[in-house]
Structure 1
Amino acid sequence: MAPTFEVLHSAAGPSAALRVTMPALNDTVHCESDAAVCWRGNIQLEGKAQGGLLASLFRSVVGGESFFVQTWRATGPTAGTVNEVILAPEEPGGIVVVTVNHGEDMLLVAGAYLANEPAVNVETDVQFKNVITSVVSQTGLFVLRARGRGKLAIHGHGALKTVELAPGESLAVDNGHVVAWSARTNMRVGAAASSIVSSFTSGEGFACFFTGPGFVVYSTHKPPTQVSSSSKAAKANNGPVGNCIAVLVVLLFVVVFVGVFGTIAYLAITGQLENNTSGGGGRSHRSGRIGSRHSHYHEDF
């Protein structure tokens, strides 16, 4: 059996939580650091740098996610016991659960990741081919790419809505409201109205235009422009552990670079000196032989 994902909606507002149930032995789920609200049953928690130090550092610095990822694993089923954990993002908002399929990657804006099954790999990606689009659409140059097969939970500000697009079907979303979309879905950025003047005088400005097939997840509210220092993204990027590891990794790169460069420079300099020395010795030896022949010539006469 696989873990089950259930979105719990709050009656007091748009805030939501995610219930993950792990009924079988070794059922596992990965989630964002500090996302757990409560848990019960025979489950075990681990924290690790998923994908290695460099991948975790890259995901933390440019992907808006935490350096460490939580891993919850069921240690065994027990009669009458429910193995479950309740997860929630630090910022209030909605949650949707989507299914990632092989060959159909998903792209998420930074900070939208909440939880995933182990068969889904979440890594940082760079939109090199769409630099202008990524900036104007406010999706960011650095996004998260989910690939594999399994369930993926994402969150955003306000309520979230998933729209399935048939081949050739289009959807326009105001920039800043996009949370996730299929990698195969065509996205472009343009003026929201028929003219640039109307686009800006109406207050809409630019919009993202998606063309199917695929699906798009958008939020009813834009993220706040100012993020408090206690937010998850701030803790991920500025936390003491993350900072220490980042400094150590940078120092390691500097030491390796200086060592390699210094070794190459040393070998180049010593090799040049040896060549000069051997070349000078050869010329002296030849000069000595020429001088010797001249001496014999004078003695004969």
Structure 2
Amino acid sequence: MEYEIIGGAFPLVKCKLKKGERMKDDSGSMAYMTPGIKMDTNTGGGLLKGLGRALAGDTLFMNFFTAQRDGEEVGFASYFPGKIIPIRLDGSQSIIGQKSSFLATEDSVEIDMYFKKKLGAGLFGGEGFILQKFSGKGMVFLEIDGDVIEKTLAPGETLLVDNGHVAALDETVDFDIQRVKGVKNMMFGGEGLFFAKMTGPGRVWIQTMPVSKLAEAIIPYIPKPE
């Protein structure tokens, strides 16, 4: 499979497939496909598998796109202005993504629910208790709100991230929370009560404009019914 990401702030990834290669996407992400692509919709592993993805923020059903001959194309577009980041899994590592980060993957990649091990991180970390886990071998394409910054943390190195800005991380990264220090900072700092605390080793992807914060910024300008 060959791919190219185009579109700037409104990105799309176009995938060129050989005969028999198959991609899967979050239902509704496909923007176009050539006539030699066969599409099939199902739960991707049974009802329980589909329900698990739904709990993690995606849809119950997935679409599968199989090339009937060499050179066929299928394109997947992001729902929100931002970035599409490609991650190649080699079978030795897993990626944890925020809810709704899944755009498309090769069929060889497994998608599962991921529960944060620490209850406090799940309740106050800004992304909910259930995330998504991507494992296996193949390409993963994640959609990120706004721009993206990738940080590689050394063993024991810590990074504090504002709630909602954590887009994805290696499974090797320890995820916890840390209370904002100082009463004035907590009450008037505008950063909430907790930071997400990331401790290496591993990579962390930080998004610059979580859709939740964009919504908060727009709400005051929405005309109210009289």
After TM superposition, the score normalised by the length of structure 1 is 0.66
| Per-residue deviation, 1:58 | 2.7
Rg comparison, structure with higher value: 1
Quick one: distance in 1 between partners of 2:157 and 2:76? 34
- 3-state SS of the aligned residue for 1:111? coil
CA contact (8 A) 1:92 1:157 kept: yes
Q: Which residue of 2 aligns with 1:276?
A: none
Q: Does 1:119 align with 2:108?
A: yes
Quick one: distance in 2 between partners of 1:142 and 1:216? 18
Q: Which residue of 2 aligns with 1:208?
A: 196
Quick one: distance in 1 between partners of 2:183 and 2:88? 38
Consecutive unaligned residues in structure 1, runs of 5 or more: 228-301
CA contact (8 A) 2:10 2:78 kept: no
Quick one: distance in 2 between partners of 1:7 and 1:222? 21
Q: Percent identity?
A: 23
CA RMSD of aligned residues (A): 2.0
Between structures 1 and 2, the one with greater strand share: 2
CA contact (8 A) 1:5 1:97 kept: no
Q: Does 1:175 align with 2:163?
A: yes
Tell me which amino acid in the other structure corresponds to 1:16.
Answer: P
Q: Which residue of 2 aligns with 1:247?
A: none
CA contact (8 A) 1:28 1:118 kept: yes
Tell me which amino acid in the other structure corresponds to 2:179.
Answer: A
Write the deviation string for residues 215-265 of structure 1: whole angstroms up to 9, x where unpaired: 1112111222798xxxxxxxxxxxxxxxxxxxxxxxxxxxxxxxxxxxxxx
Matches within 5 A, 1:1-301: 3-10=1-8, 14-22=9-17, 24-40=18-34, 42-60=36-54, 62-77=55-70, 82-127=71-116, 129-192=117-180, 194-205=181-192, 206-224=194-212
| Per-residue deviation, 1:169 | 2.9
Judged with a 3 Å threshold, the aligned counterparts in structure 2 of structure 1 residues 99 and 165 are, in CA distance, closer, same or farther, namely farther
Deviates more, 1:101-110 or 1:114-123: 101-110
| Per-residue deviation, 1:93 | 2.5
- 3-state SS of the aligned residue for 1:224? helix
CA contact (8 A) 1:185 1:215 kept: yes
Deviates more, 1:211-220 or 1:38-47: 38-47
Tell me which amino acid in the other structure corresponds to 2:4.
Answer: E
Q: Which has the higher contact order (CA 8 A, sep 6+)?
A: 2
The count of corresponding residues between Structure 1 and Structure 2 is: 214
| Per-residue deviation, 1:196 | 4.3
Quick one: distance in 1 between partners of 2:64 and 2:150? 27
Consecutive unaligned residues in structure 2, runs of 5 or more: 216-226
Quick one: distance in 2 between partners of 1:105 and 1:196? 38
Judged with a 3 Å threshold, the aligned counterparts in structure 2 of structure 1 residues 6 and 170 are, in CA distance, closer, same or farther, namely farther
Between structures 1 and 2, the one with greater helix share: 1
Tell me which amino acid in the other structure corresponds to 1:70.
Answer: N
Tell me which amino acid in the other structure corresponds to 1:8.
Answer: I
After TM superposition, the score normalised by the length of structure 2 is 0.86
